Structure 1
Amino acid sequence: MNKHKLKALILTVGAIFMAFLMVNLNSQASTSREQGVDWSRYNGNSGTFGYSSDKFVFSQAGGFYGGTNIPQTTYNSQVASAKRAGKRVHTYLWDGVGGNMTNAKAMMAYYLPRIKTPKGSIVALDYEDGASNSVTANTNVIKAQFKLIKAYGYIPVLYSGKDYLNAYVNVSAIVRAYGNCLWLAEYPDYLVRTSPNYNWFPSMDGVAIFQFTSMYKAGGLDGNVDLTGITKSGYTTASKAKAQANVKKAQKAQAAKKATFKVVKYNQRGVFYPNRTLAVRYTDSDKVRQVATYYKGESVTYNAVIIEHNYVWARYTRSNGLYGFIKLGVTNGPAYGKRVTGQPASHMYYTVKSGDSWWTIAQRNGLSMTTLASQNGKTIYTTIYPGQQLVVR
C-alpha cells in the first residue's frame, strides 16, 4: 500500500471514528444541549449567572467535611434567586464520606429533608476527594446514597472527574443500576469558553452532564451542558408525577416496617410497667433502631429504646445519675423471659466549648457520634451550645 493510499485510509478511519463519537453524543443529546452553571457559597447569596441563554443551575446545599455535616448558608437564597430568574434549579452535595456507610447514611438523613428544589429534580453527589482505598466500599456507599435519594423523590447524579472515578469507584456497576447518571468534568484549558469542546469529552458510558470549563466567563464560573435532558427532571408534569409516586411508595414501605413490642414483666420498681406497649419507629439502620418517644415515670427517665440483635432494650437514667439497660423482649415472636440490666455506672461529663461539634467530642472520648448523642437523649442533628454538659462515660 503506497503512502497516499495509507494516508487516505487513516483519514477515512479517523473521520468515521469522529462521526461515530458525534453520533453517539447526538443520540445522548437528542432531547437537549442546553447549558447551565453550578454554584457554591463562593458565588454569593444570589449566585453568579452566566448568560441569558442558560437554562439550569446547580446550587450546593452543603456537604460532609472532616467528619461532620456542614450546610451552605447560601443555598436557600441561591435556589430562590435561580427560580426568580426562571432557571431550572437543582441541588448538589459535597460527598466527603469516602467508603464509610454510617457517615453516608447520616449525611443523607441530614440533607434530604432540607432539599429546597422540587421533587423529581436532581440531587448530585460531588465525589472528588476523600475516597477510601476500597473500590467496593466506595461503590457500595454511592449506591446506598443513590437509593436514598431516589426513595426521597429525587434523581441521583454522580459528579467527578473521569480519572478519579476510574481509580476509586466501580462506575459500570452504578451506571448499570441507574443509567445515564454521571456529571463529568474535563477542561481543555483555562481560557474563557462559552460552549463545549467535544474533542475533550470524557468518553464514558452513562454521561448525562458535561462540565466543559471552569472559565465560563471572565473571572471564572463553571459551565455545563446537558446531554440527555436530565436537567428538565422535576420541571415537567410527567417527572413530577413520577417523583410523587416514588415518595408514596417509600412512605408505604416505611409504614410497613412499624411494629409494636410487648414489655416483659419484671419486678423492679420505677422502671417500666408490665404489659406496656411501645411504638417503635424504624430508621435506615439495619442493626440499631431508636424510638422517637420518651417515657417518664416516678424517679426514672427513659431516654431511648434500642432494637439490636433481635432484642428490645430500654436505656434508663435514674434521678441519682446512674443508668443501665433493660432487655424488654424480642422483635419477632413472644416476649422474652425476665429483664436483664446492665450495671449502673457513674457519669463522666464534658463541657461543650466554642467550636466543638458532635464529631470532635466523640473523637476525643473514643465514641461514635451516634453513641454520644443517644446517651444524652439527643441525635447528631441536635444543636449543642458552649457551656452545655454532655455525658461521655
Structure 2
Amino acid sequence: MATLFLGMNANAARIDMVDVSNNNGYMSTAEYVSMRNEFGVKAVTVKISEGGTYKDPYAASNIANVQAAGMYINGYHFARYATKAQAIAEADFAGKTAKAAGLPVGAVLVTDVESQEANNQSQATNDRNNAAFMQEIQKFGYRADIYTSGSWANSKMTIKGKTGWIAAYPYVPAGKNWYSTNHAWQWSSTAKFRISYGGFDVSQLNSNYYTAGQKSKVKPTNKCAVKANNQKSNKNIYKPDASAKWVKETKTYTLKTAVKLRTGASTSSSVITILPAGATVKTDQAIIQGGYRWVRQPRFYGYGYLATGPASNTLEYVKSGVTHTYYTVKYGDSWWAIAQRNGLSMTTLASQNGKTIYTTIYPGQRLVVR
C-alpha cells in the first residue's frame, strides 16, 4: 500500500500529513492551500481535545479551513487516561467534542498516547486502555488509531503492523522509510511552510488510512516546488550545533515566569510550547551560546530547550517577568493599521504574536503590542 504515496524523491521523507493544534494558532485556508500546492500535503490531523475537559479552541476553524483547502481531515485526542473507565470516558468526551467541531464521520480520531499517566502503566494496562478508547470512539462513526513514539511502540504499548502513527526524529530522515509497515511516520516537528509561522509536525503516510481509506486524490499545483521543498526539509534538520560545547547538568528548575520551550538552543528556533510560571523542568545538559544560558529537557521524543537567563547566569533562573501591553482587534483592523498605531513594523508585530503578516486576524483577538 505504500506505493500509493510515492513522490518524486524516493530517497527523502515526504510531507504527506501535517498535524496542528492550538500551539500553531489560527491557521487560514490560504495557509493550508499553500501546504497542499507547494509542499504536497495531502491530509491534516487537528487536535480535538485532551483528557476529560480540554477542548482545543481552534479545532472547528482548522477542520473547516482544511476542508475548504481540499485536503483530507482527521483529528486526535491527547490521552490522559490511566484506567479502562477513564479511557472510555475520554473517548466519549473526544467523540462529542469532535462532532461539535465538525469532524466528519469516517475521519480518523487518533488517541495520542505519550503522557506521564501512560508511562506509569504496564504494557498490558496501556493495551487494555487503548483498546477501550478505540472501541468506544468508533461508536461516533470515527475510525481509530494510536499515535506514540518509536521508543514506546511495542514497549509501553503494542502497535501491530498495518496500524499506528509512530514518531521518530532522525538527524537525517532521507534514505530510509521508517515504520513502513505502520500507517504513518512522523519524522519532524520543525518543518517550515512558506506562509505559516513556526515549526510543524509532519508525517509520511505509508498507507491510505489517513486519506479516507482510498488513494489520495489531492494533487499539488506546483510539483517542482514540492520536490524542492521536500528536499530542503530533509537536509540535516536535526544536526546539533558543533560551535559550542554542552556540559552535563542534571537539575530541576522551578520557573519564576512563563518560558518558551524551543526545538533548539536559539531564540530563532521554533516554539514547542510555553511553560507556565511554577512549572518544573528536569534537565540533563546545559550550554552557553548566543548570549544566553540554555538547558536541555529530555522529552517524550527528542528534547526541548529553554533559556535560563543571560550567558552570565550559571546557577539559577534569573530572568525577570515581562509585562505586556495588549490590543484587542476590532472590525476593519489590519496588521498594517495596528502596527502603525503602535510604532511597530508589521513583521515585528506579527512575530511577537507567533504569527506572520499573512495570518488572518479577527475581531476580539488580543495581540501583544508592547
TM range (shorter): 0.3 to 0.5
- TM, length-normalised to structure 1: 0.45
Larger of the two Rg values belongs to structure: 1
The answer to which structure, 1 or 2, has the higher relative contact order (CA under 8 A, 6+ apart) is 2
- As a proportion of its length, which structure holds more helix? 1
